Amino acid sequence: MKPKDNFMLVKNQRIESNRRLSAKAKRRLEKSKADNTLKAYSSDWSDFSDWCQHHGERDLPTAPETIVNYINDLADDAKANTVSRRVTAISENHIAAGYGGKNNPAKDGIVRAAMAAIRREKGTFQRGKSPILMETLYLLADCFEDNDLVSLRDRALIFLGFAGAFRRSELVRIQFEELTFTPQGLMIFVPQSKGDQYGRGSTIAIPYAPDEEICAVRALKAWLTAAQIHSGPIFRPFTKAHSLRDTQLSDKSVALVVKKYAKMAGLDEKQFAGHSLRRGFATSAAQHAVDALSIMRQTRHKSEKMVHRYIEQGNIFKENPLNRMYGK
């Protein structure tokens, strides 16, 4: 979707027309937010702007009452979390346009009250995709063919995605130069991620699995050797002629690969997506009594809130009071 002219988070006219800023400074200011965040905000702003145009309202600057009317229409069909994100996008665009602080209509008390009412009415529970658990890996392992290049790539992608608790974007961005194989396993340097917007980087350790059938390190070695990859992105798409491209795989392809093998394993592919690998690691770790801090070290979560949610899901049967009741 092409950003609207009044979407100020991209090509901000206040920045572009500022003669005191160098060209280099302007370029960096445009990168103050991640690309995926900008895409989401752009889509959200377009929806709000179109609604304003249809109802004869002004979008920038807008009035608090306009936002309240918009989100109440939106809440008829959207989840509370979606409505909240739209308000955030409206707020961020106003800040970029110079309407910050008390001049930001999205921060008005009437908007906060409207959001509170929507959350109470609709709730904030988000049903995520099903996790790829440790035992699920064994089901998927039976679906791969040892002598097929696509199969070798997909096995490495799934096993590594699980073992490293990678986000889709992190997984497809891994470069050969960021890999270090050791006698204990594999170390992967992640230069930047969603939780590390300033690019401090982190190193993920993945030991050899005792069971070769689900070993991410061995699966990756087999793929790199067969594909003869010695530099650049380690996960790449194939052409129609079945030759390997030099570019990295798209993050959307991760979901397609997961769904493909979930279906082959006899599972409902609609219940799985790219995030199933990351969620599966955290949930499986909780089932194996791994503590929250150790899980966070692998998942690179900065907040314990989401990790504790995974732990609760992982222990929903393990710590169920009925277990003791049945035992007696």
Is position 310 annotated as part of the catalytic site? yes
Is position 122 annotated as part of the catalytic site? no
d(CA 82, CA 92): 15
Catalytic residue among 86, 94, 278, 279: 278
Catalytic residue among 86, 94, 218, 301: 301
Q: Give the pair of three-digit tokens for residue 67.
A: 């936002």
Buried b (16+ CB within 10 A) or exposed e, 203-220: ebebeebeeeebbbbbbb
Tell me, what amino acid is at 264?
M
Catalytic residue among 167, 173, 259, 279: 167
With 0-12 / 13-18 / 19 or more C-beta atoms within 10 angstroms meaning exposed / middle / buried, residue 10 is: middle
Catalytic residue among 168, 259, 275, 300: 275
Is position 275 annotated as part of the catalytic site? yes
Buried b (16+ CB within 10 A) or exposed e, 32-56: eeeeebbebbbebbbbbbebbeeee
Is position 27 annotated as part of the catalytic site? no
Residue pair 160/214 in contact (Cβ under 8 Å)? The answer is no
Phi and psi dihedrals of 233, rounded to 5?
-65, 140
Q: Give the pair of three-digit tokens for residue 132.
A: 């790829």
Catalytic residue among 41, 99, 261, 310: 310
Catalytic residue among 79, 85, 122, 194: 194
Strands 202-207 and 185-190: antiparallel
Residues belonging to the active site: 167, 194, 275, 278, 301, 310
